[in-house]
Each structure stands twice: as C-alpha cells, then as structure tokens.
Amino acid sequence: QHKFWETQPVGQYKDVGDTSLPEGPIEPPTPLSEVKQEPYNLPAAYEWTTCDMSFGETCDEVYLLLKNNYVEDDENMFRFNYSKEFLTWALCVPGYYKNWHIGVRAKGSKKLVAFITGIPARIRVNDNVVKMAEINFLCVHKKLRSKRLAPVMIKEVTRRVHLENIWQAAYTAGVVIPTPVATCQYWHRSLNPKKLIDVGFSRLGARMTMSRTIKLYKLPDSTFTSGFRKMELRDVPAVTRLLRNYLEKFVVAPDLDENDVEHWLLPHEDVVNSYLVESPENHEITDFCSFYTLPSSILGNQSYSTLKAAYSYYNVATKTPLAQLMNDALIMAKQKDFDVFNALDVMHNEGFLKDLKFGPGDGQLHYYLYNYRIRKALKPSELGLVLL
C-alpha cells in the first residue's frame, strides 16, 4: 500500500525484525555517468526551478508557500510558520548546493506550487560517518495534493544528490512510511498557559482553575546557574569539543566541526538561541543548551494569530544537573516571550521532561534513513540528531 516507497532503497516492512540483513547501504553507488542527466518529467503544466534563497523575492515566495501549505497538527488548528530568516539559515549552510533547493512553478503564471530541499551533512551511524543529504520542507500546494507529485519531487532531489556522489539521506516526518529508524514523542512545556488554553493548544486540567494553572507554570525572572551566559563566537572551539564528545554517545548523530557549530549554534536573533555555563573558577565551558524559534499560525482564532514556540535543539550537561540547565533555558524562553517550549524524547531529554512539567503532545516524529539499513529500530534516547 506504498506504491512509491516499495520501489525505493529504504527498509521495507517485510524485512522488519530480520536481523540477518547486513547493516549499511541497501544498494551500492552507481557510476556517476549512469545517473540520469536530465530532470524527471513533471505534468505538462509545471516546470522545475532552483530557488535561490539569498534572493529576497524567491525567499518571499518560498516563505508564503510554506506559511499557507506546510505541516499542520492532526486537527488542523496550527500550521508551522518558518520565518524567512530561519529558512535562509536552515538552507544556506556550509557547503550547500543551490540546486538542492528545488521548486516547481506553474508554467503560465510562474506561481511557486511545490518545494523540497536537501542540505549536506555528515551523519555518524554507529562507527561509520556517512555523507548524507538532510531532506526537509517537502510541500505541495493544497490544491495540487494527491496527484503523485511528491514522488516526482523526491526522485528529483535524489537525482541531484546522487550527482554530488552522495547516496544516503536522513529525514523526519509526522507520518509513518517505510520504515522508521525511530519514533519519537513531542513534549510541551507551557510558558503562557492562559494563551495556550485560549487558542486550544492545551486544556485546563481536571480540578484545575486558570489561576492555579498559571501558578503551576510560573518561572523565576532570572536564571539560577552561576556562569550561565549567551554563547559567543569565541566559544565555538569549546562548544564544538563539548558537543562532539557528547554526541559520541548516540547511535545516530551529526559529525559537527567548528564551521558547523558556528553556523548551527551561534545565537541568531529570532532563529536560534544558545547558552552555556562558564565555570566562575577556571573559565571552563562545562554545559550548553540551545533552542530554535519556530512559530505556528493559529488557524481561525479571533484573538490570536501566532503561537510563539521554542524547540529544544542540542543540550549538553557535564557539571550542572541537566534539569537545572534546562530550567534556565525555560527561563530564557519565557523572557523572550515564547508561549511554549517543545522538546522530543531524544538524547537524554527524558531526564528533564517530567521534572520540568512538560506533558506529552498528540504528535509523534518518525526518523528515517534513505539507502541505509540499521539492524533494529532505535529507542529515541539512542538518537543524537535534531532536524528542523
């Protein structure tokens, strides 16, 4: 019942639990001369376009396509609203390929109707560092759904990745397709409970009043940990060492160098926030936490149009207790006027979620690898990778 995915080099349902299959690439690379040189065919009314995200007008078009047509929750109450700044940051990464930012336009009107992107990444799976593409922002305009456009877009991004001699990919989705490497749970920590309840993001608990709820989620005005401060450019080497050492513990994790850390973790207003703990005694960097900014449009509410959400990104605690470090992250997010702080149960996050009054959401996130088999599905805590 997956006419497309059955044809792709991904783990198939019939093979789940078969531990005799070898771990690693499902099919070998083909000589580059054998990779299809021309783009796949689109329905006659549409054409391929490469989206130059550093070009303001194109960035605006992508932003609007996603704002109006990207991911919604299961009751269609909220839709992700990635900012233009965020999209440029997420896509124009060290070593990126412009032609992996793929759009589809209507031939007549030139209107952008679909999008898919890849960015290069080195991902370690067990002991092997593999060059991969991270695929994200797959979107087909609501009026063009269920016409099998998505498989053509996936094949086209695959072709362009192959032309760079890269044969594996990593991606996440809220839907189940063949076959997840891991299934993770979203957790949510209310920062502005009144607004969350007013817009239907959360509900007043049984035997709870609004004022008791507000009190329950109250946070201190300032952070607790001494030496806690915003990350700066001069911290890149120390943060890279801290992070690389931490990410070694997981089965799947990015292999980050200083350039990557500068791009992905140096604070960037309204995009990514990072903090660290510098020991007041010896100035050692011992702990790190970060979150990215991803608002959602609130669909059909009279009083509010956007939900300001922070998403937990990479966190490392070596001296400070993890829950204390993350409570300081919550305090910073509250100071910055976020309504909610979201986190997945990946890495060591289970160690703070319950203590800090996060509750499980109604959404899950499935992680996938393309053309790479792993012996058995992973626990969320074995994943050291967060995709945007």
Helix (H), strand (E) at residue 252: strand 252-254
Q: Which of 89, 100, 115, 201 binds ligand EN5 (CB under 6 A)?
A: 201
Asked if 193 and 202 touch (Cβ cutoff 8 Å), the reply is yes
Largest CA distance in the chain: 67
Whether 388 is a known active-site residue: answer yes
3-state secondary structure of 339: coil
Supply the minimum distance, in Å, between the C-beta of residue 264 and ligand NHW. Answer: 18
| Nearest residue (CB) to ligand NHW, 104 versus 261 | 104
Can residue 169 be called a binding residue for ligand NHW (CB under 6 A)? yes
Helix (H), strand (E) at residue 342: strand 340-344
3-state secondary structure of 386: coil
Q: How many CB atoms lie within 10 A of CB 103?
A: 22
Tell me the sheet residues that pair with 364.
185
Q: Which of 133, 285, 332, 356 binds ligand NHW (CB under 6 A)?
A: 133
Which residues have CB under 8 Å from 378's CB, separation 6+? 181, 182, 251, 252, 367
| Nearest residue (CB) to ligand EN5, 239 versus 344 | 344
Q: Which of 117, 158, 168, 190 binds ligand EN5 (CB under 6 A)?
A: 190
Site for ligand NHW in 54-83 (CB under 6 A): 69-71
| Nearest residue (CB) to ligand EN5, 231 versus 353 | 353
Can residue 363 be called a binding residue for ligand EN5 (CB under 6 A)? yes
- The torsion angle over the Cα atoms of residues 321, 323, 325 and 329, rounded to 10 degrees, is 180
By annotation, the residues acting in catalysis are: 388
Binding residues for ligand EN5 (CB under 6 A): 71, 73-75, 77, 136, 172-174, 186, 188, 190, 201-202, 359, 361-363, 365, 387-388
Which spans of this chain sit near ligand NHW (rule: CB under 6 A)? 2-5, 69-71, 133, 135-140, 145-151, 154, 157-158, 161, 167-169, 171-173, 175, 177, 370-371
